[in-house]
Amino acid sequence: MKTSKIFFLYKILLVIAISISCTNETTTPTENSNPIIPIDTGSIDGYATVQIGNQIWMAENLKITNAPDGSVLQGVYAYDNNENYVTEYGRLYTWQAAQNACPAGWHLPSLNEWDALIATVGTDPGTKLKVGGSSGFNAKMGGRKSGGTFGYMGQLGLYWTSTTDNPDHAYQKLFISTESGVQSDQTPVDGGLSVRYIRD
């Protein structure tokens, strides 16, 4: 009888000890942590995303060669026509290809949406938004295609906006590897730039 009482008390103490242990194993998120939310729609499944302020952005450059309906996209390039660059830098897209590649639930960001992103991260936005920066956006210096020429990989990251100035030119956002800011400029829509989408 005495033995069964001792065993019963031992079981109670063991349950209490386990409960206390589980309660103490909580983690506190760091002040600068950014939630990474996997994309779960369209033809870009598996791309990392990041929430910055109220916006959810792709955290990688687009790589796909097919539209959401399965058709092959026109105006899509690997830098220098070398597929070895695609994993790290993504592909370069004409403005129309960037529009055509976009799956439901996402869109090519406007100039204003880019500017809102930059305002959210505050000072030195280029530094914070580039690879290794505190935002988790990880902008890459993927270069560009202009005419038949590729250039500036490792030096410039050029990203399409959906905002056009005229039928032949759209606005781009420009990251320079050695600078802490982000610039805006117009560029011909038939050039090849990197692409990030933003959630609707």
pTM for the whole structure: 0.79
CA 17 from chain center: how many Å? 43
Measure the CA–CA gap between 17 and 199, rounded to whole angstroms: 45
Query: Tens of pLDDT along 79-125?
Result: 999 999 999 999 999 999 999 999 889 999 999 999 999 999 999 99
- The pLDDT value recorded for residue 35 is 43
SS3 37: coil
Residue 160 to residues 35, 87, 108, 184, 186, Cα–Cα distance (Å):
24, 19, 8, 10, 10
Q: Give the count of alpha carbons within 13 A of 54, CB side only.
A: 4
78 within 8 A of 175, measured Cβ to Cβ = no
- The pLDDT value recorded for residue 45 is 64
pLDDT band at 28 (very low <50, low <70, confident <90, very high): very low
- Residue 51: strand pairing partners: 56
